[in-house]
Structure 1
Amino acid sequence: MVEDARKWTLKQYKETTNERTIKSLIHRWSVIQKATNKFCAKLAQVEGLNQSGMTEQDKFEKAKIMYQSLEKCSFQFEHCWHLLKDQPKWIWRATKDVTPRRKTMSPSLTPTSTPCSAATEDSVFDLETENVIENEVAELDRPMGRKAEKGKRKAQGKHAEENFQLRKMKYTLLEESRAQEKEFYRLKAEKMEYDKEKEEKKLRQEDERLRLEAEKVELAKKESDQRIMMMDVSVMPEMQRLYFQQLQREIMMRRSNARDLD
Structure 2
Amino acid sequence: MYHAIQKKHFTFNTCWEILRQSCKWDEFQSKKSTQHADPCSNPPSEYEVSQSNQNNAVHEQPSNTSTRPIGTKAAKEKLKNQTTHDSRFDEMAANQSKIVEVLSTISTRTIQRDEQKAIDREQKAAERRRRAEDREEQLKLLSMMNEREQQNEDYKIMLMDMTILNPMQMAYYEDLQRQILFRTTNRLPSKVPYLWVSSIGLII
TM range (shorter): 0.5 to 0.7
**1:199 corresponds to 2:125:** yes
Cα deviation digits, residues 88-107 of structure 1 (max 9, x gap): 87337743xx8xxx9xxxxx
Give 1:167 shift.
1.2
Cα deviation digits, residues 106-134 of structure 1 (max 9, x gap): xxx45239xxxxxxxxxxx9596554x62
* Residue of structure 2 in register with 1:35 after alignment: none
* Pair 1:240–1:147, CA change in 2 (3 A): closer
The residue type equivalent to 1:210 in the other structure is: E
- Larger C-alpha radius of gyration, 1 or 2? 2
Cα deviation digits, residues 154-184 of structure 1 (max 9, x gap): 1111111111111111222222222222222
**1:247 corresponds to 2:183:** yes
* Residue of structure 1 in register with 2:63 after alignment: 134
Contact 2:154 2:180 in 1 (8 A): yes
The residue type equivalent to 1:161 in the other structure is: S
Contact 2:157 2:176 in 1 (8 A): no
* Pair 1:128–1:6, CA change in 2 (3 A): same
**1:216 corresponds to 2:142:** yes
TM-score scaled by structure 2? 0.53
Give 1:239 shift.
7.6
The residue type equivalent to 2:181 in the other structure is: Q
* Residue of structure 2 in register with 1:186 after alignment: 112
**Runs of 4+ off more than 6 Å:** 237-240
Q: Unmatched 5+ residue regions in structure 1?
A: 8-86, 103-108, 114-124, 252-262
**1:167 corresponds to 2:93:** yes
In structure 2, C-alpha distance between the alignment counterparts of 1:162 and 1:236, rounded to whole Å: 109
Aligned-CA RMSD value: 3.9
TM-score scaled by structure 1? 0.43
3-state DSSP of counterpart to 1:230: helix
Listed as ranges, the matches of 1:52-201 within 5 Å are 90-91=31-32, 94-95=35-36, 109-112=39-42, 130-131=60-61, 134-135=63-64, 137-138=65-66, 141-201=67-127
Q: What fraction of aligned residue pairs are identical, expressed as a percent?
A: 13
* Residue of structure 1 in register with 2:11 after alignment: none
Q: Unmatched 5+ residue regions in structure 2?
A: 1-21, 44-54, 163-169, 188-204
* Pair 1:187–1:211, CA change in 2 (3 A): same
